[in-house]
Structure 1
């Protein structure tokens, strides 16, 4: 505990002063702190050797910068005046509207987002217009008493067709004017304001509209064709489908079209029964779990083979086809005319099985004994036999993939650099964006070749290992062959716990001890253990993992290493020992400049490095709490050792809300307090005068929230400790999920590790750069995109880039440079591992019976169990 005077009293425990009095309608972390704006670029780097690169940015020329987009709000209502918001109907209606009323629109082409916004180049004749639009749909004509699903197919009779017309009213009203020249102003160095962002959004909508007109599946700024050549089967009834991402981006070198290969997951089209068998991994239809099937199938679209009509599934029948009746007026009362004249007109009930046999000439086979698909309405079911139904293509699969599915997807969808470049240039020629009439009206033309740019390759940092030896990485890699760890831990007591019947633990123990001796680790067996080696039956997603980690880390206070070896060799054992040594407080290697305390701007000033990340539940799991993790550096001036602080928060919330949490008793139970106190304890009782913050997992639209919400919480936490001199901050966002790729202009290999680009394709005003620190061994490398939001410390571009490059070499779990700075990856690991603690819990209660309330509202989420004091400061996540 800390005393009121500040961090000097971190080992004391007198009462803390109460937090400042704050009006109840204001969040305490937002009071009396000035708003910050995103930093501008302060120059470019010069270190490293020059290299010529290609990138998937295609140059865009704009020849009509005096043009303006006019935005209109679209309101669609049906005959009953009910507002319609269906995207599918919206696009069809607007297409029909243009065909019918082209002259009233002055022949102007428009870009429509599928929802409520429509854009034109120049104004429409009227600021507000109303149009009546009629949509005609071809439908099979119902026979007397036959259901929508029925058909006399196979009876020698041809079903009749009729056209059902629906009338809609479409209202178009003026909303705003967006000058195209705002993009040009932004490109010249002016701040990219809302007008420029709006104009770029219009151009992106044009690309989406093109894709929609081609019948593509749209997923944000990516589109996917219904082409089986782009499908890869990953198992479980799921296909990966390859498509394209496309977006316009303002860059230092002008406007660019960023085009990239993209992948999403869809349900495997085809017979519904085949999908269910594959999805549940069963051999026969009779083994299907129908409760799971009902949940999986709800809202999916199917097509019937006997009528070639589409329906949406709302559920399953309660009984199989041979027992399920069409019941009364709630559904379809089957009127069967008996041949007996005396009984003519008598109404009888008929099963689904009998109906299709007698009235459609279809003898059901296996599905006669299975439930029917209900494609009707809640109070008016409409039953279809499973064997007549197939899943429509391009239906997204939004659940998380299993480890096997993910590995299969990576294996089958990877592309080497040369293949990806060819795919992209072919796509640019195929889609003929220059021929789009809307883009033509803007005077926009798009190049067909990958853009050539210049980059630099930074020199790999030297490392220090045991016996004061130097270790020089080659191509982003190094090893411990004939080397020892820099600071190997002495393990006096350890045990093995084996959950796997197929693994010989005596062999593992013997080999691990022998390999450990070579690296400098000495281990003995008697007395209570310092560390537990756990052998799991499965390498990934073992049900034992979460409960076991929770028991050991929270209850016993013992770090563990879980393994599930398929083969044992020196490299495998070395990788295991890297993790064990780090978890127990040892150091495997250090940067040479770190070992000699010569890191620029850090060596002389106590500096805390933070890595922040949030892990969300799987798609579709809206009740799973998000896990926020922050790691902080220890033992200044080192930058290789970290501890973690982890909290739960409301699902899907992107901003971390537990950085500063003042309680009613005046204490702060937030994340940052823990890390500040730990830094003080491990850094010769020095308080941080500088804080470098790496934030992962936020988009450009959230940068201001990082600066003005999260950073303010950190400052409040620091002030709560009684400190008046606020540290200098440098804030960097690290993005992995973007679509810029870099290619060597002179060869087929991936770009070399250490490649950095800070010109041409970067933001025209903001301070950002791309870095590919790792060696891409498989597929095409993805560089990390770093955005410097704030730099009060005052790093030069070269100092910045070399520090970030170096932080890719301090990851203690491996002997390779990683693709993003280690603090960010450590935060991800900590959130992921502690998320396993509640994965198997009843979410309505926590182990302590307590609930936490987030500052974003009043949504209760279960709290994570606290780590045992013996391991809370360790790199347990390593």
Structure 2
């Protein structure tokens, strides 16, 4: 594999030993502390070795990094390094360590601003080519929901569409273009049937007889006739030759424009016939509607996307479902949404705000005008009740009550006069509509966040075992009749009606190591699962000081028995926990969560024995968890374990064993290890110090634009075991921004000048402190990135990682492998023969990996189903390697990823995504708890939800609370 880069050998300024100056935060004396510890080049001039594959040149720091007291003593071999003053050199016998929190306190005195990252290149970074196909594992055949698309050799042309006056609605745009085609197909369009994307682009199979032309179109609506000028202007031509070259692996740049044309063609018919939501189409014809509560119902539909793959173009078809407003009278919707029993009572301000959020931009039709069902878009809900609303009737300022107007003009007597009124139009010219004369128009998607009961209902309604789902997909393809579609025929497209048959392999599970004192010291998982019988944790935590507070209605005796049973199991499987709490079990009131937690802290802190764990029995009413975690982890510095009262009352051994696993890692223990990691048998991980990062960004739910997007990064803190991960969280400077801002930051200090910081830098320093070694390699698993964001995220985040490394030591440039982890895709893999080579749920076996046929034509990607299914159809995770300086083989990265999925600390099962990415996801959502738990505003998604939004713009201005240092040291987010 020499063609893929330099491997792990070093060069000048980037070697394993070296006699370089060091001089950074990592190393002040050279030595063989890992790759890149020596380089001689000053910080202003260092760059990538000329032989390094795919490596952009990092933006240099503004000046050489200043020495930092965070250094760890170099090993004895450092004696060959240039001499430094005795006062500057740390002792070689005792590591000179300064706690990160001391540095952090100093940094907190300064205003921290994220550096405006300058990309290393304005061009996209080239993704690595596939390093061959994997061979490890047992070969098998699976079927994938990809359908081969054949494309005839036709000339495809692109025309810009300009509609005047401007139209916002896609449906209106489609109506205008449809009218244009109907009127001018024979006379001006040369008998061509164009495909339209609903916005600015129109495509034809063959050139139109003009380069630019203006058409006048008239539409008749309920408010009269409106005229539009439509200009079609030739914009370009799609080249099918380049697409074929790309699919055959002879061209690396994706011809996205051509693929976009074909995608629009196959979406034209369903866009006209069904409700379009992103890349999915929904309609009642695809299955019965299912009410999921609060005036919301579930519609079935299908997802469709054309993709370039090794077998050619494929159409990815999957079953999908989403939530819609039920077409109810608004009064009935409000009653269900707000859970109102007495329609005669007035709405509270909280009810009104919640209803306003739910109905904003929803279309309603009025029912008081007979057959004339005029439609309006709701812009708000009035603060005054209907009985008090008036409007001016003439220029003199005379006013009339809305109720009187409806009674006199329409002979309609309003009954719910204590309720507010719906408002359409603008604030300057409002249109008042009593709720009882309005009905919600059918087919409008409910885009707000669903509460837990609604999510459960929609999952229950759509859950299908693999064979059922495969049959549903085939029926959907048959129903769509792609080969009879007039647009497909016009553009020369034909779609197979058979699922793709794909070669796959089942990777073997890793062997796990448990403590020597247990009867079973090793474990061979079977079908992605195992248990703790006869096993003890590899590193059991010790808890001397613990307490418990009960916010539920359970009696104290029941809570005491639960704690006794729980800690008994903890001790049985390897922990050492004092059976007696520091203080007696406290009874807290669910309406006074904060005071109860503060009382625990005040009673335990003066005893001089820091609380290691607080067991919390939650209230029966949901909604307190975010607040509890915010108070414990960001204000009091307490590691906590929350338990539902129904589980605490039952004391089931399996539940308590799972809780024990979580408690152990929260107090610094480890549950199990990979045997290959213990004995250093994992290529490109255990042969040299390696840090594995996971990163994710979570965004607020639709409609909650006042809340920030939150980034989380975790980094492994043990090597070669790679099981313990430290987490850092940060609020994004821009909402809904996917690129992580705070991977590397700089601050300006009046005395020190430029001070470097950021999450990557802090985690690298923590790794050095924990292992006494600096990472020689970086593996970065990045969750939550869509294909359209690949280049931007890679460009900026690789640059930030490089800057963080360079800020720690001159010439420190460890090789990086950057892997995107995608769970939100629609590829499903089915057994070739159902009930053969499957798990209990009928899904493909855990460890099934696919890197052929349905994968990228040239780039390094694969699908891995690392977990056993429980219910429904398993979703494999798509791993796409965007950068690889460590030169992984296909087998190497696939096996590493699969094996890591058996190290997830919270259960004795392999999980569906690689744990670093999973942990980053958990940490990001824990930070979301901090934001939600700090709000006293009303529910953001109706009653029953345990999610609260922040009023106004407070979330944007208030910074994310900082996690206490002692909490940050452990895996508190699990």
- Change in Cα spacing, 1:868 to 1:15, as seen in structure 2 (3 Å) is closer
**Counterpart-to-counterpart distance in 2, 1:225 and 1:866:** 46
CA distance in 1, matches of 2:829, 2:288: 23
Which residue in 1 is equivalent to 2:769? 681
Matched with 1:255 is 313
1:678-735 CA distance string (max 9 Å, x none): 111111x211111111001111122222332101111111110123131111111110
| 1:864 corresponding residue in structure 2 | 960
Q: For residues 276 and 258 of structure 1, what CA distance do their matches in structure 2 show? A: 39
Q: Deviations over 1:730-756 (max 9, x none)?
A: 111110000100001211511111111
Q: 2:203 aligns with which of 114, 119, 127?
A: 119
SS of the residue 1:290 aligns to: helix
> Structure 2 matches for 1:495-574, cutoff 5 A?
495-502=547-554, 504-524=558-578, 525=580, 526=582, 528=609, 529-538=611-620, 542-543=623-624, 545-566=625-646, 567-574=650-657
In 1, are the aligned partners of 2:142 and 2:830 still within 8 Å (CA)? yes
User: Paired residue for 1:212?
Assistant: 271
1:872/1:323 CA distance change after superposition, 3 Å = closer
Structure 1 counterpart of 2:545: 493
* Shift, 1:323, TM fit: 5.4
What residue number does 1:478 align with? 530
RMSD (Å), alpha carbons: 2.8
Shift of 1:369: 4.8
CA distance in 2, matches of 1:715, 1:449: 46
Contact kept? 1:71, 1:176, Cα under 8 Å: yes
CA distance in 2 between partners of 1:769 and 1:789 (Å): 12
Q: Measured at CA, do residues 427 and 330 of structure 1 come closer, stay the same or move farther in structure 2, by a change above 3 Å?
A: farther
Write out per-residue CA displacement over residues 196-234 of structure 1, whole angstroms, 9 at most, x where no aligned residue.
2111111222233212211x2212211111449342222
Per-residue CA distance 1:432-485 (angstroms, 9 max, x = gap): 122223321332110112111121111111111222611121111111123221
- Give, in angstroms, the shift of residue 358 of structure 1: 4.8
Match of 1:309 among 374, 380, 387: 374
- Report the equivalent of 1:855: none
SS class of match (1:441) = helix
Q: CA deviation at 1:363?
A: 4.6
Aligned residues of 2:726 and 2:970 also touching (Cα < 8 A): yes
Q: Say yes or no: does 1:273 pair with 2:331.
A: yes
Distance between the aligned counterparts of 2:577 and 2:323, measured in 1? Answer: 47
**Secondary structure in 2 matching 1:779:** coil
Of residues 312-321 and 522-531 in structure 1, the stretch that sits farther from structure 2 once superposed is: 312-321
Task: Tell me whether 311-320 or 791-800 shows the greater mean CA deviation.
Answer: 311-320
Deviates more, 1:494-503 or 1:110-119: 494-503
Paired residue for 1:691, among 774, 778, 788?
Answer: 778
Structure 2 CA distance, aligned partners of 1:287 and 1:362? 21
Q: How many residues align?
A: 807
Corresponding residue number in structure 2 for 1:594: 677
91 and 477 in structure 1: CA distance in 2 versus 1, 3 angstrom threshold: same
Structure 1, gaps ≥5 residues long? 19-23, 140-163, 334-347, 845-858
**Cα shift readout 1:138-171 (whole Å, capped 9, x = no counterpart):** 56xxxxxxxxxxxxxxxxxxxxxxxx22111111
| Residues 653-687 of structure 1, C-alpha deviations (whole Å, 9 max, x = no match) | 1001101102113322200111111111111x211
Whole-angstrom distance in 2 between the partners of 1:308 and 1:282: 28
Counterpart secondary structure, 2:139 = strand
Structure 2's unaligned 5+ residue stretches are: 1-24, 29-65, 74-95, 108-112, 583-606, 836-841, 938-954
| TM-score, with structure 1 as normaliser | 0.87
Q: CA deviation at 1:575?
A: 0.7
Separation in structure 2 between the aligned mates of residue 40 and residue 477 of structure 1, nearest angstrom: 34
Are 2:414 and 1:328 aligned? no
Q: Which runs of 4+ in 1 moved over 6 A?
A: 13-16, 32-35
Report deviation, 1:633: 0.7
Quote the residue 2:848 is aligned against: 755
Aligned to 2:259: 200
The TM-score normalised by the length of structure 2 is 0.79
**Offset from partner CA, 1:467-521 (integer Å, 9 cap, x none):** 2611121111111123221211121111112121236321211111221221122
Matches within 5 A, 1:179-194: 179-191=239-251, 193=253
Matched, 1:234 2:322: no
Matches within 5 A, 1:309-708: 309-316=374-381, 324-325=389-390, 327-329=392-394, 351-364=401-414, 366-467=415-516, 469-502=521-554, 504-524=558-578, 525=580, 526=582, 528=609, 529-538=611-620, 542-543=623-624, 545-566=625-646, 567-649=650-732, 650-664=734-748, 665-683=753-771, 685-708=772-795
Tell me the CA shift for residue 532 of structure 1. 1.0
**Contact preservation (8 Å) 2:242, 2:251:** no
Is the 2:141–2:831 contact (alpha carbons within 8 Å) kept by the matching residues of 1? yes
Question: Equivalent residues in 2 for 1:709-788 (5 A)?
Answer: 709-747=796-834, 749-788=842-881
Q: What are the Cα deviations for residues 298-324 of structure 1, in whole angstroms up to 9, with x where unaligned?
A: 321112233333222233456555554
Higher mean displacement: 766-775 or 415-424: 415-424
Contact 1:463–1:590 at 8 Å: present in 2 too? yes
Q: Which residue of 2 aligns with 1:838?
A: 931
Contact 1:626 1:651 in 2 (8 A): yes
Asked if residue 11 in structure 1 is aligned to residue 97 in structure 2, the reply is yes
CA contact (8 A) 2:664 2:671 kept: yes
CA-CA distance at 1:91 after TM superposition: 0.8
